[in-house]
Structure 1
């Protein structure tokens, strides 16, 4: 998409409104993740990263020529934009050193206007680039891959193993979709069991753990875990495949639950072309700022049982998980999950337009619909 002022501004305004609305929904006590401990807060943190990224991209248009989105599919930026953002983050200090300080630029701009009686476009671009680089350097952005973090530590009273709630994120370069992962993983490594589990089977509170911890809590496996998650976070892999691979690749790690939140597709009138019915109806919404629709899917797979391992004289076998896939639900079986939920968030004005067109049942079949109205989310429509 060309960085033409009107469509670009509309896209950034609508995606900003959608992400802000999604954050409101995630923090609502009726959210499906709200009652599951800190899961909603984790997702909200990644939404914040996305918001920062979009803010940076918006600033980047002040000196860059183009910004491309996946208009016909996800409605999110194409992967190249994330690579450029990450590259700019790494080079920010070096590039900032070659750009004058803001006050110096302002003085130069004022002097240019007085002497030439015209707008200092080149200086304005330098100022825009400086503001962009400062924002990229200092803010947490949604990188192509966001390394894992341990958010919670506890002990399974049945197995007497410590378990971690670990989360990470990736932006799928093929589907152009942001993906958020959360996994509950038990750790049977002798060192961690001895360190974290008391004799009564409870968490050793004398061990101070400054949560959140960067990476997997087990330091001996942290780098391997980062490598694994980076290689196993593609949208094309089902949650069950990822959990099974994790179970196979780590002898002492036992994944009990894996949850994936797939953000998108996103629809914006006059910008995206990913659904003809939605596009046509949204084009009739009076205010362009309300002509959008954001969807997301929550997928989950959990272990229904564990096959015990054994150590023998000639061979040994690790404990393995048996993951539950709901074969009674064709869509769950297709996705390779125990369960899933499809959600849609839409402004009140856009929902009214869909309702008036008689298309709500067709567009929202299988979705839980949430309407954004006056800064609040109305659920279960």
Structure 2
């Protein structure tokens, strides 16, 4: 038994599925701004796929659990409790599946119930929904409360003769209810890693086979500490400058040269979210409910403009430190604690037309790069 199309939950899941699918199309498009950093678009697309898997699971969960809460007045994304429940269900999935009848047995029982009672077997349907949900949760790569770091690129900086890693991780902020994706370029001055990774020609040694991606930071001596650090330093309230500065301070031999954070959201959906009355009012007039949404995201970046050399003395020493660039002429960049930032908005063509016709488009999209989803393609620079 499925919920009617005008059910708020159905409308919300249809809208967020369309938005994430559109965002995936945008990330895979070689004309998109992030595609010029191909690996960045690839990393973000990986986490979008995780989010899509999570939403598919939550949708299935509604087949046997009535409650699902979203942050209607702020992010438009699910509240943090939903992620905790999903993670808990993933851990218990094997045990719970063992206690449920096999799919064929359930189907047989449902058919028998209908024949004997001439009514729908609601309880058996819930058991089937729970089984399908647990199978998806158990096998799927979902977007959890925190996703541990992976190293996806290794190279050598010819100026410093140090190896550097491109590492990414993600978290779902429990206060702001926003998915956050992090990417950091980090140089490693550990003598052991330089010996192992840097060849005599100053390039990455051909003697070392690195099967990328590698779970965690490539440096095994620092991998656990790095995981602890990222888990404690991924809150939305921490600016990229603060996170990069903390990383620089906490690790004597790690030198963060660049940190990028992608903040997904807020997400707006007609009749569901209520964090912008002007947007909500216009979206409510969009004819097709599946086109009545707007997804925004922000790309924040902080980079090092110089490295201040360390000092070794007889009684005390100081490690080298990074000097991060913050554009103080840009008040918004200074407020965010970044070298630069980009604000993006993705919206279906029909919804954009409605905002434009209402005279709201210019005001709502001020400062945003706007991308319009139309017939399975994303049109940018409108």
TM-score bracket for the superposition, by shorter chain length: over 0.9
- Residue 161 (structure 1) shift: 0.3
Contact 1:3 1:67 in 2 (8 A): no
Q: Deviations over 1:1-57 (max 9, x none)?
A: x99971000000000000000011111122222111311000000000000000000
Instruction: Find the counterpart in structure 2 of residue 327 from structure 1.
Output: 328
Which residue does the alignment assign to 1:65?
66
Report the counterpart of residue 279 of structure 1 in structure 2. Answer: 280
Q: Are 2:358 and 1:374 equivalent residues in the alignment?
A: no
What is the match of residue 123 of structure 1?
124
Contact 2:27 2:42 in 1 (8 A): yes
Q: Distance in 2 between matches of 1:79 and 1:62?
A: 20
Where in structure 2 are the equivalents of 1:128-139 lying within 5 Å? 128-139=129-140
Matching of residue 18 in structure 1 with residue 11 in structure 2? no
**Which residue of structure 2 lines up, in the alignment, with residue 90 of structure 1?**
91
Q: Tell me, yes or no, if the aligned pair for 2:5 and 2:11 is still in contact at 8 Å.
A: no
Q: Report what 2:47 is aligned to.
A: 46
Q: Specify the SS of the correspondent of 2:7.
A: helix
Aligned to 1:346: 347
Offset at 1:200? 1.5
Q: Secondary structure at the residue paired with 1:30?
A: coil
SS in 1 for 2:34: coil
Say which SS state the counterpart of residue 114 (structure 1) adopts. Answer: helix
The corresponding residue for 2:104 is 103
TM-score, normalised via structure 2 length = 0.98
Task: Find the residue that maps to 2:33 and give its secondary structure.
Answer: coil
Partner of 1:208: 209
Distance in 1, matches of 2:347 and 2:150, equals 31
Pairwise mapping of residues 265-276 of structure 1 onto structure 2 (< 5 A)? 265-276=266-277
- TM-score under structure 1 normalisation? 0.98
Quote the offset at 1:67 in angstroms: 0.3
Q: What SS is found at the alignment partner of 2:90?
A: helix
Tell whether the 8 Å contact from 1:262 to 1:298 is kept in structure 2 after alignment: yes
Spell out, residue by residue over 1:267-303, the C-alpha distance to the aligned partner (whole angstroms, 9 max, x if none): 0000000100000000010011100000000000000
In the TM superposition, 1:180-219 aligns within 5 A as 180-219=181-220
> What is the count of residue pairs matched by the alignment?
380
State yes or no: 1:55 paired with 2:90.
no
Which residue is equivalent to 2:255?
254
The whole-number CA distance in structure 2 between the counterparts of 1:62 and 1:37 is 39
Residue 154 of structure 1: SS of its match in structure 2? strand
Contact 2:182 2:260 in 1 (8 A): yes
CA distance in 2, matches of 1:92, 1:311: 54
- Secondary structure at 2:163 match in 1: strand
Q: Give the match's secondary structure for 1:33.
A: helix
Q: For 1:188 and 1:113, how far apart are their aligned partners in 2?
A: 69
Structure 2 CA distance, aligned partners of 1:4 and 1:308? 63
| SS of corresponding position for 2:306 | strand
Q: Secondary structure at the match of 1:341?
A: strand
**Residue of structure 2 in register with 1:78 after alignment:** 79
Residue in 1 that maps onto 2:307: 306
Structure 1 runs, 4 residues or longer, greater than 4 Å off: 2-5
Distance 1:274 1:51 in 2: 23
Q: Distance in 2 between matches of 1:66 and 1:192?
A: 50
Partners of 1:3 and 1:66 within 8 A in 2: no
RMSD of equivalent CA atoms: 1.2
SS of 2:301's partner is strand
**8 Å CA contact 1:3, 1:65 repeated in 2:** no
More deviation in 264-273 or 113-122?
A: 113-122
Separation of aligned partners in 2, 1:205 and 1:102: 51
